[in-house]
Amino acid sequence: MSKMSSPSSSEIEEKRVTSIIHEVVEVDCSTEQEVTKEDKPKCSKEEMGEVKEENERLKTMLSRVEKDYNSLQLRFFDIVNKDVSMKDIEDSSTNSHEEIDEEPEFVSLCLGRSPNEYKKDAKNIENPNKPKEKEDMEVNLSLGLDSKYMVPMELVSDLSPMNSSEELPKEVEVEEKGAIFSTNKSTKVINVNDEISELLPAKRVRVSVRAKCDTPTMNDGCQWRKYGQKIAKGNPCPRAYYRCTVAPACPVRKQVQRCADDMSILITTYEGTHNHPLQVTASAMAYTTSAAASMMVSGSSTSSSSSHQNQNIHHNNSTSFGNSPTQINGLNFNHHQFEQSRTPKQHFFIPPNHNNLFPTITLDLTSPSSLSSSNIPSNVPRFSPNNLSFCSTQQPNFTPISSIWNNSNNKLGFINNNTNPNIEKTQVRPFNHFQENFYQNQNCMTSYQTPSRQALAETISKAISTDPSLHSVIAAAVSSIVGQGSNNGGKQEENRENGLGAGLNLKLGEYPQMVSNNLLNQNGKGCLKGSYFKRLSPTTSSQAKNFMLLQPSLPFSVSKSSASKPPSIVNNINNFDLDKNKHN
């Protein structure tokens, strides 16, 4: 697989475009019944010329789309910056005595750029011909987990969702990672991974991940040791307590509990900050949850003070975000989604620890929307502008990323579930849609009918169905796809080779291949269970049945293998049986 990453991204793109158009050409030629054998070479030459022209056009289109995207992003940053400045003035007049490092009332996303850089860019917008602009863009426009994420492991040590009292020194890697926050009070740059630790002491945020999972725990790439189990109130399923054992003193804990309403749903709640290097898959999950937690912090700071029910976090941050969907690590946080999410029952979720002590944000990976992939003909290229899609730019209805930015109906959403004013709970429901779209994307790939592509899709399918940890990997991938608007030049190659970067540095127009590489670069590890993409093989469904029967007394006991050996579903089911027999 690593061999596939050797050509440059532009070469890959070019080859792909050429091969696809070749296929189209072949189909066209074969359908022309009047074409004689003598005409074929002529036809081919003409078509080749057309293909080359088309290739050039596509490349031009691609660069134009990238420029549009960059331009839009610059404008966005400019708006954010203005809002921040205005808010600064207001705050300084009313709260002139506040400490600078106080927990900010509002936190705005910079998505990989520091405010200073915004200012530079804002100037560049006024002077669009300034040659340095593009260079700056390439260097700075890194969203989510960019190439810098592949820094030495010492620098990746603080990626976990939230704060804990035991923290690493903060000075280490301020500029080293992708997503950056800025506060409106001091235009202080806050790294999602580091500075969130500074934000959170006052509010211990937890990130809860809801996922359909047959295994007792979700494989998130970390090693966990179970230290307790309790029957919590309101849920017959026991709640298991795990702590991270990758490093001896790692403070990160997680709670795992089945959803009372749907026992196929596993609720994993993370708390704390890893004080050690993380594996690829762990980093992905940690970063994603970190971003969610960051958003929670920014929103909850105001939502908690308001008794207004169902107040939306995005709304809280409207000062910073305007009406555009907000992205953290590639996740869109959109108040429209909140409205949608209120109606279906399944969209409402109370995390396992529903006490008042910890604001909890929920990443909901469950229940793909009604747009079931099985309802979509497999030979139809699928792309919904409302969805995040990995279909390549060759899709006939290709939509530039800028449309995703501006689309208010984007399905990646952020929901604040403040039905109880005393409880700060927030939902993020981006991944179910992502799953759906990833599935669609597989069809996009297979629809090209290129054998290698098909094989690739099958390989991905297998990887996905064998290891549920792909949840986190894909989460990172999707975030980078949304966030990564500009290329990183040569770093991309390097990142692809390293695996993590591959998942985190996707270039516009390379989505299918890059995604494939990402998934397969995770050593075959994955998290999206087969049911999402393969709609459950007969064996899995029967396993699910067994699992449901055993569920109420199930111990969550495979954390040991979570990092090194992804648990086989069958083995786990057997373990469950053994355990049950043992208890009997």
Binding mask 451-490 for DNA (x = CB under 7 A): ----------------------------------------
Pick the stretch among 140-148, 219-227, 307-315, 317-325 that binds DNA (CB under 7 A). Answer: 219-227
Judged by CB, which is closer to DNA: 535, or 560? 560
330 neighbors 479 (Cβ within 8 angstroms) = yes
Tell me whether strands 360-364 and 425-428 are parallel, antiparallel or unpaired: parallel
Q: Does 555 bind DNA (CB under 7 A)?
A: yes
Q: Does 224 bind DNA (CB under 7 A)?
A: yes
Q: Does 229 bind DNA (CB under 7 A)?
A: yes
Q: Does 203 bind DNA (CB under 7 A)?
A: no
Q: Binding DNA by CB under 7 A: which of 182, 223, 273, 540? A: 223
Shortest spacing between CB 217 and DNA, in angstroms: 8
Angle at 235 between CA 229 and CA 237, to 5 degrees: 50
Q: Does 556 bind DNA (CB under 7 A)?
A: yes
Pick the stretch among 58-66, 191-199, 229-237, 477-485 that binds DNA (CB under 7 A). Answer: 229-237
Pick the stretch among 192-200, 222-230, 388-396, 531-539 that binds DNA (CB under 7 A). Answer: 222-230
Q: Binding DNA by CB under 7 A: which of 60, 85, 92, 355? A: 355
Judged by CB, which is closer to DNA: 386, or 575? 575
Collect all residues with Cβ–Cβ distance below 8 Å to 274 and sequence separation of at least 6: 157, 158, 159, 160, 222, 244, 246, 247, 250, 252, 282, 286
426 neighbors 359 (Cβ within 8 angstroms) = yes
Shortest spacing between CB 358 and DNA, in angstroms: 7
- SS3 category, 543: helix
Pick the stretch among 22-30, 136-144, 355-363, 479-487 that binds DNA (CB under 7 A). Answer: 355-363
Judged by CB, which is closer to DNA: 86, or 578? 578
Q: Does 551 bind DNA (CB under 7 A)?
A: no
Q: What is the DSSP string of 361-420?
A: EEEE-----S--GGGS-TTS----TTS-----TTSTT---HHHHHH-TT-S--EEE-TTS
Shortest spacing between CB 111 and DNA, in angstroms: 32
Positive or negative, the CA dihedral 39, 45, 48, 54 is negative
Pick the stretch among 311-319, 376-384, 388-396, 553-561 that binds DNA (CB under 7 A). Answer: 553-561
Phi-psi region of 388 (alpha: psi -120 to 50; beta: other; left: phi over 0): beta
Positive or negative, the CA dihedral 254, 256, 259, 260 is negative
Q: Does 582 bind DNA (CB under 7 A)?
A: yes
- SS3 category, 469: coil
Pick the stretch among 17-25, 36-44, 232-240, 410-418 that binds DNA (CB under 7 A). Answer: 232-240
- Per-residue 3-state assignment (H helix, E strand, C coil) for 98-129: CCCCCCCCCEEECCCCCHHHHHHHHHHHHCCC
The site for DNA, by CB under 7 A, has a size of 33
156 neighbors 178 (Cβ within 8 angstroms) = no
Q: Of 114, 472, 454, give the one whose Cα is nearest residue 286.
A: 472
Judged by CB, which is closer to DNA: 300, or 410? 300
Q: What is the DSSP string of 316-358?
A: HTHHHHTTSPEEETTEEE-HHHHHHHHSSGGG----S--SSSS
Binding mask 238-267 for DNA (x = CB under 7 A): -xxx---x-------x-x------------
Shortest spacing between CB 462 and DNA, in angstroms: 26
Judged by CB, which is closer to DNA: 10, or 245? 245
Q: Of 401, 484, 519, give the one whose Cα is nearest residue 179.
A: 484
Q: What is the CA radius of gyration of the chain?
A: 24
Pick the stretch among 104-112, 187-195, 218-226, 383-391 that binds DNA (CB under 7 A). Answer: 218-226
Structure tokens at 510: 């390379």
Q: Does 161 bind DNA (CB under 7 A)?
A: no
Q: Does 583 bind DNA (CB under 7 A)?
A: yes
Residue 188 CA from chain centroid, whole number: 25
Shortest spacing between CB 229 and DNA, in angstroms: 3
Q: Does 560 bind DNA (CB under 7 A)?
A: yes
Q: Binding DNA by CB under 7 A: which of 45, 64, 230, 565? A: 230
In Å, what is the CA distance from 572 to each residue of 215, 254, 256, 566? 7, 20, 16, 10
Shortest spacing between CB 236 and DNA, in angstroms: 12
Pick the stretch among 57-65, 237-245, 320-328, 438-446 that binds DNA (CB under 7 A). Answer: 237-245
Q: Of 230, 180, 464, 522, give the one whose Cα is nearest residue 352.
A: 230
345-373: burial string, b at 16+ Cβ within 10 Å, e else: eebebbbbbeeeebbbbbbbbbbbeebeb
Shortest spacing between CB 265 and DNA, in angstroms: 18
Tell me whether strands 107-109 and 224-231 are parallel, antiparallel or unpaired: unpaired
Judged by CB, which is closer to DNA: 98, or 579? 579
Structure tokens at 342: 């209120």
Judged by CB, which is closer to DNA: 118, or 241? 241
Judged by CB, which is closer to DNA: 259, or 506? 259
Pick the stretch among 103-111, 347-355, 406-414, 518-526 that binds DNA (CB under 7 A). Answer: 347-355
Judged by CB, which is closer to DNA: 151, or 231? 231
Q: Does 547 bind DNA (CB under 7 A)?
A: no
Number of H helices, E strands in the chain: 19, 13
Return the residue matching tokens 């403070």.
251
Q: Does 538 bind DNA (CB under 7 A)?
A: no
191 neighbors 543 (Cβ within 8 angstroms) = no
Q: Binding DNA by CB under 7 A: which of 30, 356, 379, 584? A: 356
Residues making contact with DNA (CB under 7 A): 223-230, 232-234, 239-241, 245, 253, 255, 352-353, 355-358, 555-560, 578-579, 582-583
